[in-house]
Amino acid sequence: MQRIDLHTHTVFSDGTDLPCQLLKQAKAMGLAAIAVTDHDTCEGLAAAEASGQAEGVQVIRGCKLSSMTERGEMHILGYWLPYRSAPLEDLLSRLRAQRNVRNERMVEKLCSLGCRLSMEEVQNLAGQGTCGRPHMARALLAHGYVRSLSEAFERYLASGRPAYVPKEVLSPDEVIPSLVRAGATVSLAHPLLHGYPESWLFATIKRLRDLGLDALEAWHSEHKPSDVHLCQAWAQALGLDLTGGSDYHGSNKPNVHLGTGRGNLQLSTAILEKLLRRRRAQGRLVKV
C-alpha cells in the first residue's frame, strides 16, 4: 500500500524541519504524497513543491488556520490552495497579526510569572516562520524554567494554564467560506482532540458542512480508535469525506513521526483519490 500524510509542519510555522528535510524524509519513508499544512501561512509551499519534485513525492499545497468557537479553538485544514489569491493572503496576514498580539500578551504573562523571556528571543526561535506557543516552550526550556516541552505546556502554556491567552481569531463560519472561495478543499483538523461535547460538535460540523466543509480529519496521532469511528460515522451521515495526517512537527513533537504518527497511522493513497474525486465533482481545479 502506498502511504501519504496530509498534516505536516515545517520551520515556516512551528515544525523543526526545513521543507527540503521534510520531503527527503517523506521519500525515505516511501510516502507517495504529503500535504504541507503550516499554521496561518503558505510561505513554505514553494520550497516544499520544489523539493517534492526533486524527491518524486507529491506535495499538496495546504495550510492550517486557527479559528475560535464559543467553546474554544477549532483548526481548519485547507488543501489545494491556489498559487495567488489576494483574499487568502489577506486572511492569512490578519491571522498572523492577531497571533502576534497574543504572543506578546503570553510572553508578558510568563514574565509576570517569573519566567523572564523576551518576545525577541521567542521570535528568533521562530525565525521567518509563524510564531506560537511551541517557540515559547523552547525558550522556557532553554532558560531552564522547565525540563521538557511538554512540561512547558502543562505548567504554563496549555489552555487553562496561567500564561495561556486565547487567540482572537475568526470563527470557522468565516474561515471556511474564505477557503472555499479560494478553491480549497476544507477539512476539520482533529475534531475530537479538544474534548468538546459530542452533540455540540456534531451540530457544529453539520453547520460547517453547509458552509462548505468537505471533510473530517479522522486519522490523527491523537485520535483514539473510537474517535476515528465517530468521525467515520459522522462523515457518512453528513456526506463528508475523510482525511488523515500525523501533525508532524519534527523535534517540537518528538513522539509524533511523519507518516506513522505515534506508530500506528496507515494512510493510503485511496484517501487522496477520494478527495480528488470530490474536487472533480465540484468542478474544482485538480492538479496532480
CB of 35 to ligand AMP, least distance (A): 15
Q: Which residue is nearest to ligand AMP (CB)?
A: 132
Q: Residue 133 touches which of Zn ion, ligand AMP, none (CB < 5 to 8 A by kind)?
A: ligand AMP
Q: Which is nearer to ligand AMP, 151 or 173 (CB)?
A: 151
Is the backbone of residue 62 left (phi > 0), alpha (psi -120 to 50) or beta?
Answer: beta
CB of 221 to Zn ion, least distance (A): 12
Cell of 47: 520550497
CB of 178 to ligand AMP, least distance (A): 18
Q: Residue 101 touches which of Zn ion, ligand AMP, none (CB < 5 to 8 A by kind)?
A: none
Q: Which is nearer to Zn ion, 145 or 248 (CB)?
A: 248
Sheet containing 72-79: give its strands across. 3-8, 31-36, 58-69, 72-79, 185-188, 215-220, 241-245
CB of 262 to ligand AMP, least distance (A): 13
Q: Residue 150 touches which of Zn ion, ligand AMP, none (CB < 5 to 8 A by kind)?
A: ligand AMP
Q: Which is nearer to ligand AMP, 133 or 279 (CB)?
A: 133
**CB-side neighbour CA atoms (13 Å) of 94:** 15
Q: Which is nearer to ligand AMP, 58 or 244 (CB)?
A: 244
Per-residue CA distances from 231 to 4, 7, 202 (Å) = 19, 17, 10
Residues 73/168, Cβ–Cβ less than 8 Å: no
Q: Which is nearer to ligand AMP, 146 or 235 (CB)?
A: 146
Q: Residue 77 touches which of ligand AMP, Zn ion, none (CB < 5 to 8 A by kind)?
A: none
Per-residue CA distances from 194 to 31, 147, 227 (Å) = 29, 25, 12
Residue 213, SS3 per DSSP: coil
Closest CA to 239 of 220, 223, 216, 271: 216
CA dihedral 165, 170, 173, 178 (to 10 degrees): -140
The C-alpha atoms of residue 201 and residue 181 are separated, in whole angstroms, by 24
Chain-centroid distance, C-alpha 35: 10
Q: Residue 64 touches which of Zn ion, ligand AMP, none (CB < 5 to 8 A by kind)?
A: none
CB of 164 to ligand AMP, least distance (A): 9
For binding to ligand AMP (CB under 6 A), which residues are involved? Answer: 14, 39, 132-134, 149-150, 153, 158, 249
Q: Which is nearer to ligand AMP, 241 or 247 (CB)?
A: 247
CB of 15 to ligand AMP, least distance (A): 8
For binding to Zn ion (CB under 5 A), which residues are involved? Answer: 14
